[in-house]
Structure 1
Amino acid sequence: MKASPRKWQSQCIEIALEHYTTTPHFFCQATPGAGKTRMAAELARRLLGQGKIDLVLCFAPSCQVVDGFRSTFATVLGRRLDGLIGAVGAASTYQSMEHQDEAFWRLFDDYRVFAVFDEIHHCSGYDPVLSNAWGQQILLKMQDRAAFTLALSGTPWRSDDRGIALARYSNPEGRLICDYRYGLKEAIFDGVCRSPRIVLLDNQMLRLKEDFANDSTVKFFPSIAKLLRESPVSYEDLLFHEDALSQLLDLGSKKLDEVRMLKPNAAGLVVATNIDHAHQVALALKSRGESFQVVTTRTPDAQQVINRFKNSDCRWIVAVGMISEGTDIPRLQVCCYLSRIRTELHYRQVLGRVLRRMGDIDDQAWLFVLAEPTLRRFSQRIADDLPDDLAVVCTVSAPKFEPCSIEGEDLFAQALPGEPGNSPHVTTMQKFSSQVDLDPVSTYQISFSKNYRQQLLAVF
């Protein structure tokens, strides 16, 4: 039996239907994990039932999210969304828009099309000149030809401060105007999303030994922030460090044990930096006797691996560039954030993977992260669904034409082992002098003391 829409979904649908009587474009911001796809499917069902549309075309940033759209829409509409004969429409990636033939674009002239755009922040530009390739396709080929459009986003801003396609902004402030907003606070109060618990891991005595050709120095630092600020050590170095990795995984495993006492099939997500790092994490989990799956951009049949994990009892999934947004695995309840990507967009999207609630007892989500200053700041801002300093479009000059990549994804994180940007890190690292005559190589070693400390941020 099909479940009824949630209260927020029904409310959004009624507002959208009323909105469509005067304008064809509707923008919905709902916190990650709230059920935007289901709301979109229910809205499509209502429009079809009212005889206002003929076809539904959905676009999303990844194949994983597209598969989720096809499944959810088929369940709600009772009709396929696979683009084959007899289907009510199709779902495809934004990237595929550039490869559609003229017959596809004629659908917008021959039929009344309801166009749905998931995670619309990937498509920049409210002006074709200031757009990326995906935004340009929407503005030039669909904006004025679709019967209705629905733009969805859990994090409606971009790291480059550009406007979002199909979005409206206030004048002169440049603030994003949402036709409907459903925030994290409301979602937690309604029992739709879990309440996030973010644990920042720090160390009170970090030892750095740096060896030169004829000399060596030893320095001590009272925090990760001070180490990163006053030494050559990078945040990425710490992510690969066995001690830091071990401590974070220990915390995550212990919390997952506690969660599974109430919810036996609960699972954890580790977001790794690149493929080598993912295998390092996998070895660490294996040494603990943990069950796990590894999925990266190079994993054969990655979607099938994710689907098997979704319906299994496996404890952990280690991911690189695959489960940052949109992927629906409700049993994920614990996450270790070990990605080198430090944008607020990506960080919030990852947190969203553990927020989707399944029942009455799974009311908390846990995120474990190193106390790096930028990530600490992001963590303290989670309660603010639409930060004032992010949901603003700055005045910019016309950029060069921008190819499209997944907004917030680190392309180096998808490199194969042995490729540039993917060399393994070990506790001992090499640092070349920046002087012109290239001084001899120095090496440095980081040691973590046993004096770890944790800061718990309970958002609500």
Structure 2
Amino acid sequence: MKLRNWQSECIHSAISNYKSNKHFLALATPGAGKTAMASVLAKLLYDQNDIDLVICFSPSSIVANDFSEALSDQLKSHFDGTIGALGNSFTYQGLSTLGNKVWRLFDKYRVFVIFDEIHHCAGSNIKDANAWGKPIITMIKEKAAYTIALTGTPWRSDALPIALAEYCNDSGKIQCDYVYGLKQAIADNVCRIPQVVALDNDQITVVEGDETRHFTSFIDLLSQSIIPYSEIVTNTSVIEQLLIHSSHKLNELRTFNKEAGGLIVASSITHAWQIQLILKQVIGESALVVTSDESNGNELIRSFRHNQQKWIISVGMISEGTNIPRLQVCCYLSNVKTEMNYRQVMGRLLRITDAPNQQAIFFMPAEPKLVEYAYRVSQDIPENLEKVKFTQMDKEIITKANVLSESDEVINSDCNTLISATKQTISIGDTTFNVDERLTSSNDIPSIELDISIDKIMRIFGQFNHKELEIEGFEQLNISEQSIKKLSQYSSVAF
């Protein structure tokens, strides 16, 4: 297997690191090829007689299967935990259910452990660890022969420390043993240059009782906290316009690459089927819907990876680590607005292939946070998420059930007042439905529904317009000579 330069550098860095430290953290941008790199590293350690077994953990079963296949190919052995296997691949969800048969392996053998997207596992110690971080700290950290932790987004939205990671004491910044960012990957022709298109509207009207208010953009509307963002991404007009723009671009790409595919990210399972229906009625195209409701979801994703179907719609099953290189267009209709999710979804478009056109286009509503993320996407770690907080709990905390203090009663009372004010009936066009936005405190106090509603209607009258966001730092990066030669015959394609 021919390695990319960064993969070779990372492997050599890890081997050198293991002489003094058995834990290694590698940051590589989504789409760079972390699975292949870690698998080759495992083979090298095995061939050098430094390890006996390999165990891998990842955030989803489809990614776990990809690791199993990659490791099997490298080690020339089955990789399913059965007799004669050289290891196994698990999901993080399965960490808590692993029996003594697995944990005893760490006492008898030299085990190399691969952690994919390690940022899911939090904890600097047992007291501030989450459910996935605890077994890593208690069972693996000391007993593993070596580990490599991989991530494309090396931070957590809750600012907790990542398991096995090292941080600077003064700044709280994560210390990665090897870094391969998106700018480097694009310059090396390892990843595509992402293009972001934000869709907006200049005439939005909200009618609430006798009051009518007008807004000139989604940013203007959302800044008033009148309509939640979830109502924008489920609005039929918004869905139609984003699908039209996305479909036009995908059709353009497929004139040169018939395998180019599109990903539509929905907010819920119901939303996914709504999008499929609109796509069929407005554009006349079909789409594969893959959600947690489908028992064969992973098989459907693997099939889509290798066929020529245009569209796949998912809520969260196609995110970090899911490898579908032919995806080149994304229509982002998720109501999740975290930077981690944004970057991970965008990463699904960035894998370079041999196709003649290597554009990657990300369509989204012009929501302020998403627009901000677009301008920051060339950075490896966002400024406001660099620092982590370490929680020190030296004493055991004991709580008693069914005991409510006076202060708790005040909090519950205030919370219920907030909840009652957000119980709404929303009408969009001819459709009316109930929305119960439940506001809770940071302690997730259970909410209580009250019989109060506010009639509210949102209509979008204006012309939809879109703007291509120029991501700072990519304008000087050029497409490789090889790609230029492939594109020379297609004079109508602009980059």
TM above 0.5: yes
1:318 corresponds to which residue?
313
Q: 2:348 aligns with which of 327, 350, 353?
A: 353
2:372 corresponds to which residue?
377
CA distance 1:441–1:241, shift in 2 (3 Å): same
Deviation at 1:458, TM superposition (A): 4.0
CA–CA distance in structure 1, aligned partners of residues 452 and 124 of structure 2: 51
1:160 corresponds to which residue?
158
1:295 corresponds to which residue?
290
1:450 aligns with 2:454: no
CA–CA distance in structure 1, aligned partners of residues 326 and 436 of structure 2: 45
Q: 2:19 aligns with which of 18, 21, 35?
A: 21
1:408 corresponds to which residue?
none
Q: Secondary structure at the match of 1:5?
A: coil
Deviation at 1:123, TM superposition (A): 0.2
The answer to whether the 8 A contact 2:427-2:458 is kept is no
CA–CA distance in structure 1, aligned partners of residues 243 and 354 of structure 2: 26
1:218 aligns with 2:212: yes
CA–CA distance in structure 2, aligned partners of residues 291 and 184 of structure 1: 33
Higher relative contact order at CA 8 Å, sep ≥6: structure 1 or structure 2?
1
CA–CA distance in structure 1, aligned partners of residues 144 and 40 of structure 2: 18
1:305 aligns with 2:318: no
CA–CA distance in structure 2, aligned partners of residues 440 and 69 of structure 1: 50
Q: 2:242 aligns with which of 240, 248, 251?
A: 248
2:418 corresponds to which residue?
none
1:273 aligns with 2:286: no
Q: Secondary structure at the match of 1:317?
A: strand
Q: Secondary structure at the match of 1:149?
A: strand
Q: Secondary structure at the match of 2:42?
A: helix
Deviation at 1:361, TM superposition (A): 3.2
The answer to whether the 8 A contact 1:82-1:89 is kept is yes
The answer to whether the 8 A contact 1:431-1:442 is kept is no
The answer to whether the 8 A contact 1:293-1:318 is kept is yes
The answer to whether the 8 A contact 1:241-1:425 is kept is no
Alignment RMSD: 2.4
Deviation at 1:448, TM superposition (A): 3.4
1:134 corresponds to which residue?
132
Deviation at 1:131, TM superposition (A): 0.3
The answer to whether the 8 A contact 2:291-2:314 is kept is yes
Structure 1, 291-300 or 388-397: larger mean CA deviation: 388-397
* 1:98-177 equivalence runs, <5 A: 98-177=96-175
Q: Secondary structure at the match of 2:363?
A: strand
CA–CA distance in structure 1, aligned partners of residues 155 and 436 of structure 2: 38
1:343 corresponds to which residue?
338
Gapped runs of 5+ residues in structure 2? 399-422, 440-448, 475-495
1:42 aligns with 2:37: no
CA distance 1:78–1:432, shift in 2 (3 Å): closer
Q: Secondary structure at the match of 2:198?
A: strand
Q: 2:228 aligns with which of 230, 234, 237?
A: 234
Deviation at 1:359, TM superposition (A): 2.2
Q: Secondary structure at the match of 2:171?
A: coil
CA distance 1:22–1:317, shift in 2 (3 Å): same
1:413 corresponds to which residue?
none
CA–CA distance in structure 2, aligned partners of residues 200 and 61 of structure 1: 29
CA–CA distance in structure 1, aligned partners of residues 435 and 257 of structure 2: 47
Q: Which amino acid aligns with 1:379?
A: A
CA–CA distance in structure 2, aligned partners of residues 227 and 400 of structure 1: 44
CA distance 1:97–1:220, shift in 2 (3 Å): same
Q: 2:71 aligns with which of 70, 73, 91?
A: 73
Q: Which amino acid aligns with 2:460?
A: S
CA–CA distance in structure 2, aligned partners of residues 456 and 323 of structure 1: 24
Structure 1, 3-12 or 45-54: larger mean CA deviation: 3-12
The answer to whether the 8 A contact 2:189-2:352 is kept is yes
CA–CA distance in structure 1, aligned partners of residues 166 and 462 of structure 2: 51
Q: Which amino acid aligns with 2:294?
A: T
Q: Secondary structure at the match of 1:377?
A: helix
2:361 corresponds to which residue?
366
Deviation at 1:369, TM superposition (A): 0.6
**TM-score, L = length of structure 1:** 0.89
Structure 1, 317-326 or 353-362: larger mean CA deviation: 353-362
1:58 aligns with 2:76: no
Deviations 1:266-294 (CA, angstroms, capped at 9, x unpaired): 00000000011000110012122223100
CA–CA distance in structure 2, aligned partners of residues 347 and 148 of structure 1: 31
Structure 1, 183-192 or 229-238: larger mean CA deviation: 229-238
Aligned residues: 433
Q: 1:4 aligns with which of 2, 19, 27?
A: 2
Deviation at 1:440, TM superposition (A): 6.3
Deviations 1:30-74 (CA, angstroms, capped at 9, x unpaired): 000000010000000100110000000000111111011111111
The answer to whether the 8 A contact 2:428-2:457 is kept is no
The answer to whether the 8 A contact 2:259-2:326 is kept is yes
Q: Which amino acid aligns with 2:325?
A: P
Q: 1:259 aligns with which of 250, 253, 260?
A: 253
CA–CA distance in structure 2, aligned partners of residues 295 and 105 of structure 1: 34
Q: Secondary structure at the match of 2:385?
A: coil
**TM-score, L = length of structure 2:** 0.83
CA–CA distance in structure 1, aligned partners of residues 99 and 155 of structure 2: 30
2:278 corresponds to which residue?
284
The answer to whether the 8 A contact 1:59-1:66 is kept is yes
Deviation at 1:452, TM superposition (A): 2.3
CA–CA distance in structure 1, aligned partners of residues 471 and 112 of structure 2: 40
CA–CA distance in structure 1, aligned partners of residues 427 and 100 of structure 2: 49
CA distance 1:453–1:363, shift in 2 (3 Å): closer
CA distance 1:261–1:172, shift in 2 (3 Å): same
The answer to whether the 8 A contact 1:29-1:155 is kept is yes
Deviation at 1:197, TM superposition (A): 0.3
Structure having the higher Rg = 2
Deviation at 1:426, TM superposition (A): 4.5
Deviation at 1:128, TM superposition (A): 1.1
The list of structure 1 runs, each at least 4 consecutive aligned residues, that deviate by more than 3 angstroms after superposition, is: 395-401, 423-434, 436-441
Deviations 1:291-315 (CA, angstroms, capped at 9, x unpaired): 3100001112101111111111110
